[in-house]
Amino acid sequence: MFKEISAKEIKDNIIKAISDEWMLISAGDKNGYNMMTASWGFMGEMWGSDSVIAMIRPQRYTMEFIDKSDYFTLSFYGDNRDIHKICGSKSGRDVDKTALTGLTPIFSDNTVYFDEARLVLICKKQYVGKLSEKSFTDTAPIDKWYPDKDYHNMIIGKIHKVLIK
């Protein structure tokens, strides 16, 4: 059972949770949704609100749902890497990730998240912008992470609700 808390009450080290535990970025509703594994992102204060930044490459199926949705979620699953093996390597265009992972979708607050999560951030989309090669002041990330020039979209979301188990 989830309990609602404020973003400031999150006890996790968010840098560690994102980089080591990883997360699912999800968007959509009962009529269609997708989720993907991510290990890059931020959380902090933006425009006077508790906010997150999620990074999604333009070709990812989840980006289509982000584009047409006002809300998205970031969710964390502890050390359950099986979820991330599927959601990080398979496309929802080709497979039913919900069936393959055994996740139980919950449709609430104009978006989707999953009952198996230990922590869920429900976010209202506020900004979507593509990283630009000309804006890099250090080209090392370009050489390492963008050989195909498929720069991430940066999605800024105001944290609408935080749910923990």
Mean pLDDT computed over every residue of the chain: 96
Residue identified by tokens 């931020």 is: 42
Mean pLDDT for 30-44 is 96
Q: Which residues pair with 161 in a beta bridge?
A: 122
- Judge: domain 3-164, CATH 2.30.110.10: yes
Mean pLDDT for 104-112 is 96
What are the residue ranges spanned by the domains of the chain? 3-164
Asked whether residue 122 carries a pLDDT value surpassing 90, the answer given is: yes
Tokens matching residue 17: 């949770």
Residue identified by tokens 């199926």 is: 61
Let me know: does 130 contact 164? Beta carbons within 8 Å. Answer: no
Q: Which residues pair with 163 in a beta bridge?
A: 4, 120
Asked whether residue 24 carries a pLDDT value surpassing 90, the answer given is: yes
Asked whether residue 45 carries a pLDDT value surpassing 90, the answer given is: yes
Which pTM was predicted?
0.95
Let me know: does 17 contact 78? Beta carbons within 8 Å. Answer: no
- CB neighbour list of residue 57: distance below 8 Å, 6 or more residues apart: 63, 150, 151, 152, 153
Mean pLDDT for 47-56 is 97
